[in-house]
């Protein structure tokens, strides 16, 4: 059984937990440095506000611990703000974990009219529904980063080894493809 730690400092973490429950994965929430003492096999960083999440990660003294674990190979999945937290370069923001070799642009679709819905293909899994909420997109990927989805030519999902990031919010649709893909990534590392 895989245990997923869900970063629960702010943002849309409950929605991820519901999907994990549906897929039969075990999970718990990370809210402070004490929670990091529990064993876990993977990490989900939810959507929300990347600036606030980055600030809390530093203030609660969990940023360095998580950065080391992810750098050491802990499977991680970041959605929207979570993708920004993972990125090495952030246009319009500040890097946090900075483990994934991608350049992201915050609020890439504009702040007010930035929410929309699309259907596009994801990895080798066919078309899936994608909900974007004041989303970033990936402007540039480094070597070893595989592009998994594009919408209107912009990169909205990518994977670098054990790290997965999406601009959109798969946790708020009923389609579980992306979470299943992530759990397969986790299983294949164990
Ligand atoms: N606009 C937010 C940010 O820059 C991300 C929005 C989201 O996670 N839905 O952090």
Q: Which residues of the chain have pLDDT under 70?
A: 111-113, 190
The structure's pTM equals 0.97
CB 29 within 8 A of CB 66: no
> Given this model, what pLDDT does residue 179 score?
98
Write the residue with the smallest CA distance to atom 1 of ligand 1. Answer: 134
> Given this model, what pLDDT does residue 88 score?
98
Residue to mutate, 44, 51, 81, 96, ligand 1, most ligand atoms under 8 Å from C-beta = 81
Total residues belonging to the chain: 190
> Given this model, what pLDDT does residue 83 score?
98
Distance 1 CA to ligand 1 centre (A): 31
Q: Indicate the pairing of strand 163-166 with strand 76-79.
A: parallel
105: Cβ below 6 Å to ligand 1?
A: no
Cα–Cα distance for residue pair 153/189, rounded to 1 Å: 31
CB 162 within 8 A of CB 188: no
> Given this model, what pLDDT does residue 113 score?
63
> Given this model, what pLDDT does residue 79 score?
98
> Given this model, what pLDDT does residue 141 score?
98
What are the tokens at 53?
A: 């999440």
What are the tokens at 151?
A: 């919408």
Q: How many CA atoms lie within 13 A of 105 on its CB side?
A: 13
**Residue found by looking up tokens 């759990």 in the block:** 183
**Burial (CB count within 10 angstroms: exposed 0-12, middle 13-18, buried 19+), residue 140:** middle
Given the CA of residue 82, which atom of ligand 1 is nearest to it? 8
83: Cβ below 6 Å to ligand 1?
A: no
């Amino acid at each position: 059984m895989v245990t997923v730690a869900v970063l629960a400092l702010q943002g849309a973490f409950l929605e991820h937990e519901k999907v994990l429950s549906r897929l039969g994965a075990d999970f718990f929430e990370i809210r402070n440095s004490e929670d990091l003492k529990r064993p876990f096999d993977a990490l989900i960083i939810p959507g929300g506000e990347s600036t606030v999440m980055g600030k809390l990660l530093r203030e609660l003294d969990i940023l360095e611990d998580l950065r080391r674990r992810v750098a050491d190979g802990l499977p991680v999945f970041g959605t929207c703000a979570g993708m920004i937290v993972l990125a090495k370069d952030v246009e319009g923001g500040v890097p946090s974990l900075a483990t994934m070799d991608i350049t992201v642009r915050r609020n890439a679709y504009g702040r007010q009219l930035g929410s929309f819905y699309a259907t596009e293909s994801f990895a080798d899994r066919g078309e899936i529904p994608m909900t974007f909420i004041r989303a970033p997109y990936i402007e540039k990927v480094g070597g070893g980063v595989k592009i998994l989805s594009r919408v209107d030519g912009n990169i909205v999902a990518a994977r670098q080894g054990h790290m997965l990031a999406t601009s959109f919010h798969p946790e708020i649709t009923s389609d579980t493809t992306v979470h299943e893909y992530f759990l397969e990534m986790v299983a294949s590392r164990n």
